[in-house]
Structure 1
Amino acid sequence: MRSPLLRGAALLATATLGLSLSASPASADAANAAAIPPKALVGYLHASFANGSGWVDMADVPDEWDVINLAFAEPTSATSGQLEFELCPASECPGVPDKAEFIAQIRAKQDAGKKVLLSVGGQNGQVSLETPAARDAFVSSASAIIDEYGLDGLDVDFEGHSLFLDTGDTDFRAPTTPVITNLIAALDGLVERYGDDFVLTMAPETFFVQVGHQFYGSGQWGGADPRAGAYLPVIHAMRDDLAMLHVQHYNSGPVMGLDGAYHSMATADFHVAMADMVLAGFAVAGDPERFFPPLRPDQVAIGLPASINAGNGHTPVAQVHTALDCLTQGAGCGGYQPQETYPELRGLMSWSINWDRFNGDEFAREHGAYLR
């Protein structure tokens, strides 16, 4: 269960929401993850824009994708917390269905056993919940969109400057920075509102997670980037309710692994080292007294670009499978040896379904077959 100190902070932060923040029952810890296949493929569907890859109709999303994240809901301003979600305009996305047909397509996917989530943020959607008013607006507007479209949950894809740590906020177990505590309180509110069936996922970049092993916030003496490791308190606070964490193993600089060596993206070693950090846990900012506990393997997936068009760090299929063999079987490992093997590792996430379609559906076809 999450830290009593952190739960207390969230309770104070959400007093105006009128929501119970009692701890989830132990039996619910794996409920969200159990709603998704043991080996899962997660993909983002460009729902509000085309991004050069073209519109892909929900009805045409290949069956290999188990979780479909609708990209993106964005706030009216960086600090408002008020989310908006509109389908891509026909001028940009020829063939886009009307809202009623889109909702009918979502139902069909859900009837086929798929989970469809609302993804919030993205590269351009900065979301900084600096005030209680923004926190409350986030909860109410996210709920309204989820209810309108009949969605299964929320994906938190905060990037850029959405999350940061104030100077002096040095313990991920008891954060004090408003954009952190308000987000935790907002997610708590959504989980409490929808119950055990609510699917919560997160897609941070490596800088906000694994880099926290070396640097956390502005550091003991200040001056460092306050965003380093800033997702850690959110992940830790929500770990009992988190269905999947799929860190983006792309658009990343070299990152130091648990072996003390730096690893570069687009290689099997990078994926093994980055996944191993959240699967084995690590000392935050090198302090063994502030150890980030491991997540369950069934909560962890690896985030990848679907093709070379989709982002820096595209990894060839064979290298991805080498990484998965190493992590799940201890077979074929290269320079990095994981702390142990994780046969229940959940799977892969990709940006995006659209870019994969643009690339002939290689990601869904090859990785879907591997995971099955």
Structure 2
Amino acid sequence: MKKLLISLSSVFVPFSVSLSVVACNNNETSGQTTTDNPKEPENPSNPQTPSEPNNPGTNTNPGSNPNNPQTPTEPENPVVPENPSEPEGWSKNKLLIGYWYDWGGNYQIKINFNEIDDSYNVINLSFLYAQTANAMPIFQPSNPTEVKNGIKYLHSKNKKVLISMGGQTGEGMRFNENQKSDLKQTISNVVKEYDLDGIDLDWEGSCLADRTSQKVTSEALIEIKNEWAKQNKHFFISMAPELPYLKESTEASGNSYIPFFKQLDKYYDWINPQCYNGWAYGPYVDQEEATELGLGYGSVITNDDYANRGIFYYLMTKYLTTKKSNLNGFYLIDPNKFVLGASTNEPAGRGAAYEGAINKFYELTKQNNINIRGLMTWALNYDGYDGPIENAGQTTWKKWSFAKWFRDTFAK
């Protein structure tokens, strides 16, 4: 999703693409390079899977990982926690989720925790990351005391604060079978030190082809959640997958989120897919939606299509939550656990939100009785910016615009 962390020091260098990547020049996506929309599939009944995003620093291929082939293994049947449901009231809350980090860049500012728009009820801290395979992940904010005090403030406002694990540095998220205890302890230590409410999995790249690592991580999180439940506490688990990793065809081999979904079934609280990033990606249009929206059957609506971005959000949501699309083959997610992720504005990532797109998306989901959980954005740092956005061909960005669009639509 997000930003590239280049050392174990507190120096951060940013990047994007989609469960969450950021690009160069301090933007979450790969600059402003345009990508031609894919051609219509030669055989709409069996379209080819779009290619993997070309992310700086990650040489990934959703179809295979020849350097580290992994045979998928069936997860062990997990023990359902004693208290798997969210705290009273929270399961009905509409969510507005924003990512926070303490590095800067163009068209964004460092947001103090007491400045965050009150509509945001979940804040994901970026990032808990492992720089190399088989190393334990670390969280190194530049000012830990400031972060801890900020979390106390957010808790006083009844907000939930999660640690986001992965980001563009997700290549290092590789843990072997002997590391479950260490990983569990590492996550627990960070959560305890910062008084966090849970974890957001923002894995990206070829680490998602490592089925052993996924299984070990899932088991560690299940154990943590069960232990919290025994203390009548709720440990939140969310995921921020990039769109190519949501195809059912990826489960057998290659980069996939499907193992996480299945292993953490009944344990995760919501999924916020990244419907943004620096490449043209989008669903093929089924006949029903082609007729409904006046589109060509088998055509592709991508996140690069600015005029149809609201339709892009709608199609991705429908095909990921309520309609099994043979043209697309996405894994279906309970709409009550689905949060659509959009970059805040164009500099934050192509596929970005704007008022007309959010309104159109809301109208279409309402008309089709698709009730999702809310919206997510990369990032709070962009939504807190107020001023001209010169390289996006737009006039002025208003501070907390994304939060306002949420209040006017899905928060109702």
TM-score interval for Structure 1 and Structure 2 normalised by the shorter chain = 0.7 to 0.9
TM-score where L is the length of structure 1: 0.74
Q: Distance in 2 between matches of 1:286 and 1:109?
A: 40
Q: What per-residue deviation string (whole Å, max 9, x for no partner) do you get for residues 157-176 of structure 1?
A: 111222016xxxxxxxxxxx
Q: What per-residue deviation string (whole Å, max 9, x for no partner) do you get for residues 65-86 of structure 1?
A: 1100001111142332x12112
2:141 partner letter: L
Structure 2 alignment gaps of length 5 or more: 1-71, 287-297, 386-396
Partner of 1:83: 137
1:10 aligns with 2:76: yes
1:183 deviation in Å? Answer: 2.5
Partner of 2:348: 310
Residues 155 and 281 of structure 1: is their aligned pair in 2 closer, same or farther, counting only changes over 3 Å? Answer: farther
Q: Which secondary structure does the structure 1 equivalent of 2:356 belong to?
A: helix
Q: What per-residue deviation string (whole Å, max 9, x for no partner) do you get for residues 259-285 of structure 1?
A: 254221151221111111221264799
Q: Which secondary structure does the structure 2 equivalent of 1:248 belong to?
A: coil
Q: Which stretch has the larger CA shift, 190-199 or 250-259?
A: 250-259
Q: Distance in 1 between matches of 2:203 and 2:128?
A: 11
Aligned length: 308
Partner of 1:275: 317
Q: Which secondary structure does the structure 2 equivalent of 1:262 belong to?
A: coil
Q: What per-residue deviation string (whole Å, max 9, x for no partner) do you get for residues 100-140 of structure 1?
A: 34322211211211101101111234343341234333221
Q: Distance in 2 between matches of 1:197 and 1:60?
A: 26
Q: What fraction of aligned residue pairs are identical, expressed as a percent? A: 21
Q: Distance in 2 between matches of 1:282 and 1:237?
A: 21
Kept in 2, the 8 Å contact 1:249–1:304? The answer is yes
Partner of 1:63: 118
TM-score where L is the length of structure 2: 0.68
1:257 deviation in Å? Answer: 4.4
Partner of 1:41: 96
Kept in 2, the 8 Å contact 1:32–1:199? The answer is no
Kept in 1, the 8 Å contact 2:154–2:160? The answer is yes
Kept in 1, the 8 Å contact 2:318–2:370? The answer is no
Kept in 1, the 8 Å contact 2:131–2:169? The answer is no
Q: Which secondary structure does the structure 2 equivalent of 1:162 belong to?
A: helix
Aligned partner (choices 352, 357, 369) of residue 341 of structure 1:
369
Structure 1 alignment gaps of length 5 or more: 1-5, 12-20, 89-97, 166-176, 220-225, 331-339
1:146 deviation in Å? Answer: 0.4
Equivalent residue runs for 1:1-372 within 5 Å: 9-10=75-76, 21-25=78-82, 28-31=83-86, 34-35=89-90, 38-47=93-102, 49-52=103-106, 53-80=108-135, 82-88=136-142, 98-164=143-209, 177-195=211-229, 197-209=234-246, 212-213=247-248, 215-216=249-250, 226-227=254-255, 230-251=256-277, 252-257=279-284, 259=286, 260-265=298-303, 266=306, 267-280=309-322, 282=324, 292=331, 294-327=332-365, 329-330=366-367, 340-343=368-371, 345-358=372-385, 359=397, 360-370=399-409, 371-372=411-412
Q: Which secondary structure does the structure 2 equivalent of 1:242 belong to?
A: coil
Q: Distance in 2 between matches of 1:148 and 1:178?
A: 28
Q: What per-residue deviation string (whole Å, max 9, x for no partner) do you get for residues 236-292 of structure 1?
A: 2223122110100011533334725422115122111111122126479988xxx94
1:60 partner letter: E
Q: Which secondary structure does the structure 2 equivalent of 1:151 belong to?
A: coil
